[in-house]
Amino acid sequence: MPIIRPYADSDWETVLEICLLSFTPVHESFERLLGTELFALVYPDWKTSNKDYLHSLTRSGERRLLVAEENGSVVGFIHYEVDSQKQRGNFGLNAVHPTHQSKGIGSLMYGHVLDMMRAQGLKYVKTDTGGDQSHAPARRAYGKVGFRPIPVVHYFKSLVIPEPIGAKATSIGELQTRPILIIVCGLPGSGKTSHAKKVEQNLRGVRFCADEWMNAMAINLWDSEARQRIEKLQWNIAQEMLRLGRSVVIEWGTWARSERDVLRTGARKLGAAVELHLLDAPVDVLFDRIRRRNAETPAISFDDIQRWAHMFERPSSEEMALFDPPSLQEPSGGSTRDLDRPLHNLRMLLSVLKPLRS
C-alpha cells in the first residue's frame, strides 16, 4: 500500500523524472493540436520550464509538496496551495509515474490532500487540467474524488506565422472535435466500405473510396494505374479538407505500412488526429463476401485473395501505438440512404468547396 509523505531533497531526481515522463504525452498532444510552428512559440522548451517550475516548488519557504511512496520508491507527487483568507485550496502540479498509473495512486494522493484541507477548515478546492485526450486519465481521477468540471477553452494565435487571408478563429465545437483522419485498413471483403460509411456519418466528414470514383467514371476496378491517379487526387483533396477543419475517412485498404506512414505524417503536419481502423477476417470469409457482392470484372478469385493476404502488412502493436485512440465509430443517427449513392462524396466536396469559389 503506497504511503503519502512530505517531499525530501533526496526525492528530486525521481520526482523530476516522473514529471517529464508524465508530461511528454501531454505536450505531444498540444503539438498536434496547435501545429508544430505555433507549439514551438507557445512551448519553446517545455522540459526546462517544467524543471524550473518544479524546482521552485521544492525551494519555497513553506513546502506544500508531497510524494507517494511504494515499496521504498517514489511513484508520484502532488503540489497544493492554501488560501486561508478565501478558505480555498488548490491542487497544483501533480503526476504519477507512467508504470504506476491506473492503480489508484492519484486518487490516494488527492484524498490525502483533501483530508488535510478539510482539517484546516477550507471550504472548497479548485484544480485545472486539459480537455484533450492526453488529459483523460487526469479528468477521470479528479472525477473519482468528486470534482465537478466547468469546461474552459484556451485560444492561441501566432503573430509571426503567416495566415491565409480570411482565416478565422476555430469555434469551441470545432476545437472539441478537431479534424480527424480515419484510415480504414483491410483486404477486399473485410467490410471497409460499410465501416467507413458509419464513421463518415458519425464524424460528418468526407469519405474517399477509389472504387466508387472509378465506378462513377466507368473505369475498370482492375486498372491499377487509374486507381493510383485517383488515390493521389483524393489525398490532395483530403488534405485540403483537413486544413478546413473537416474530418476525412480514407478506405483505400492501405495494405503497406509505408502507405499508412505517409497518410499519418501528412495529416499530423496539418494538426489533425489520425486513427487507424483495422478490419480483418479469414480468407474464406473474405472470398465469400466478395463472391456475393460480385462487383469486379473479371471476378476476384480465391487465389487472388490468398496472394493478397500474403502481401498485406498487418499493422503491428508498435505501429498502432503511433495513432490516436479510436473515437466513436457508430453513426449518431439519421438516414444512411445518401451514403449509398456513388457520387455522394463528390457532391459533399462541391458543397464544402463552394464558399472558396466566391
**Which of 280, 51, 85 shows the shortest CA–CA distance to 188?**
280
Q: Rounded mean pLDDT of 296-316? A: 87
In whole numbers, what is the pLDDT of the chain averaged over residues?
Answer: 84
User: Does residue 42 surpass a pLDDT of 50?
Assistant: yes
The answer to whether domain 177-357 has CATH 3.50.50.60 is no
Q: Rounded mean pLDDT of 178-206? A: 88
Percentage above 90 pLDDT, the chain: 46
Q: Rounded mean pLDDT of 249-271? A: 91
Least confident of 80-94, 150-164, 284-298: 150-164
Distances (CA, A) of 267 to 133, 173, 200, 249, 322: 17, 20, 17, 12, 13
* 3-class DSSP assignment, residue 182: strand
- Distance from C-alpha of 346 to C-alpha of 214, rounded to nearest angstrom: 12
pLDDT tens figures, 215-247: 888 898 888 899 899 999 999 999 999 988 889
User: Does residue 174 surpass a pLDDT of 60?
Assistant: no
CATH 3.40.630.30 residue ranges in the chain? 3-144
pLDDT band for position 171 (cuts 50, 70, 90): very low
Which positions ≥6 away from 229 have C-beta within 8 Å? none
CATH 3.40.50.300 residue ranges in the chain? 177-357
User: Does residue 330 surpass a pLDDT of 80?
Assistant: no
Give the model's pLDDT for residue 297. Answer: 81
Give the model's pLDDT for residue 209. Answer: 93
Strand runs (DSSP E) across 127-218, as ranges? Answer: 180-185, 206-208
Give the model's pLDDT for residue 5. Answer: 95
Q: Rounded mean pLDDT of 294-312? A: 85
Instruction: Report which listed range, 55-64, 92-101, 125-134, 287-296, is most confident.
Output: 92-101
CA geometry: angle 137, 1, 112, nearest 5 deg: 60
Give the model's pLDDT for residue 163. Answer: 58
User: Does residue 271 surpass a pLDDT of 60?
Assistant: yes
Residue the block writes with cell 485545472: 128
Contact 94, 4 (CB under 8 A): no
Q: What is the dihedral of CA 199, 171, 352, 345, to 10 degrees?
A: 0
pLDDT band for position 102 (cuts 50, 70, 90): confident
pLDDT band for position 83 (cuts 50, 70, 90): very high
Give the model's pLDDT for residue 286. Answer: 87
Residue the block writes with cell 494505374: 225
> Cell numbers of 339, please?
451514403
- Distance from C-alpha of 203 to C-alpha of 176, rounded to nearest angstrom: 12
Give the model's pLDDT for residue 328. Answer: 52
Strand runs (DSSP E) across the chain, as ranges? Answer: 3-6, 65-70, 73-83, 88-96, 124-126, 180-185, 206-208, 248-253, 273-278
User: Does residue 176 surpass a pLDDT of 60?
Assistant: no
> Cell numbers of 59, please?
525551494
- Distance from C-alpha of 147 to C-alpha of 242, rounded to nearest angstrom: 35
Number of C-beta neighbours around residue 281 at 10 A: 15
Number of C-beta neighbours around residue 313 at 10 A: 14
pLDDT tens figures, 6-15: 999 999 999 9
Residue the block writes with cell 483495422: 278
Q: Rounded mean pLDDT of 148-170? A: 72
Q: Is the dihedral of CA 95, 96, 101, 104 positive or negative?
A: negative
The two beta strands, 248-253 and 206-208, are: parallel
Give the model's pLDDT for residue 172. Answer: 40
- Distance from C-alpha of 114 to C-alpha of 43, rounded to nearest angstrom: 31
pLDDT band for position 159 (cuts 50, 70, 90): confident
- Distance from C-alpha of 319 to C-alpha of 315, rounded to nearest angstrom: 6
Which positions ≥6 away from 53 have C-beta within 8 Å? 93
Q: Rounded mean pLDDT of 120-142? A: 90
Fold of 3-144: Aminopeptidase (3.40.630)
